[in-house]
Amino acid sequence: MPSNTLTELLDSHNIKYTIITHSVAYTAQGIAALTHIPGQELAKTVIVNLDDSLAMAVLPASCQVDLAALRAATGANTVTLAKEKDFMHRFPGCETGAMPPFGNLYGMNIFVDETLTKDQEIAFNAGSHRELMRLAYEDFARVAKPTVLQFALPRPRAA
Class of the CATH domain delimited by 4-150: alpha beta
Q: In Å, how far are 32, 37, 58, 79 from 61, measured between CA atoms?
A: 8, 10, 9, 20
pLDDT band at residue 2, thresholds of 50, 70 and 90?
low
Tell me the per-residue pLDDT of 37-86, one tens digit each, with 9 for 90 and over: 766 778 999 999 999 899 999 999 889 999 999 999 999 999 999 999 99
Tell me the per-residue pLDDT of 5-14, one tens digit each, with 9 for 90 and over: 888 999 999 9
Look at residue 150 in the predicted model and tell me its pLDDT.
96
Name the residue ranges covered by the structural domains of the chain: 4-150
Contacts 24+ apart (CB under 8 A), 64-72: 64/152, 64/153, 64/154, 64/155, 65/151, 65/152, 65/153, 66/151, 66/152, 66/153, 69/149, 69/150, 69/151, 69/153, 70/111, 70/149, 70/151
Q: Name the amino acid, one letter, at 140.
A: F
Q: What pTM value is reported for the model?
A: 0.90
